[in-house]
Amino acid sequence: MEQTGNLPNAEYRRFEGMREYEALVDGLIPQTLRTIRVFDDRLARAWNSPERYEALRQFLLANRMNRLLIVVHDAGPVERECPRLVDLVRQFSAAVRIHETLSPAKNVYDPFVVFDANHYLHRFHYRFLRAALGTNDLVGAQQLLDRFAEIWEASALAVTAGPSGL
């Protein structure tokens, strides 16, 4: 790993492979203290695994101020293929939001997950397996947080806790 960012222990590492990407997501969830922000074309089935469900549930139970914010281009598969995630929306309706991008943001193609404001995973294109992990990288994380804010603004609530969201 190379040093980057503005913390002495900041690291940035490139890798290839969805297995590693999903394993890193699972490893970073328990380290998150406040907010997980996810942007993707559509969520992988790993978001419905019992292990990820339990890790997210524990994260949300740890503090009532914790948040899980997700934006996808296509929310339809979330409701069909990720019932555990939809269950989290129902259980933690004030803390979990799943949005779908509107037309101004449909051309964003690089999925990422930001854990608090210092760790992140960033895929360079949703069709390819190349990705990067940044840990304690405040500069890199802030760039993704700014992008997430723009994408969030160009999205609308798509999965709700009501009967239509289940």
Q: How many domains does the chain have?
A: 1
* Residue 84 included in any domain: yes
Residue 145 is part of a domain; what is its CATH number? 3.30.870.10
Predicted confidence at residue 3, as pLDDT, reads 43
pLDDT in tens, 33-90: 999 999 999 999 999 999 999 999 999 999 999 999 999 999 999 989 999 999 999 9
* Residue 38 included in any domain: yes
- Amino acid at position 149, single letter: A
* Residue 54 included in any domain: yes
Q: Tell me what percent of the residues of the chain surpass a pLDDT of 70.
A: 92
* Residue 33 included in any domain: yes
Check if the beta carbon of residue 39 is closer than 8 Å to that of residue 108: yes
* Residue 129 included in any domain: no
* Residue 1 included in any domain: no
Predicted confidence at residue 126, as pLDDT, reads 79
* Residue 122 included in any domain: no
Question: Which residue range(s) make up the domain with 104?
Answer: 16-116+138-165
pLDDT in tens, 113-148: 999 999 999 998 878 789 999 999 999 999 999 999
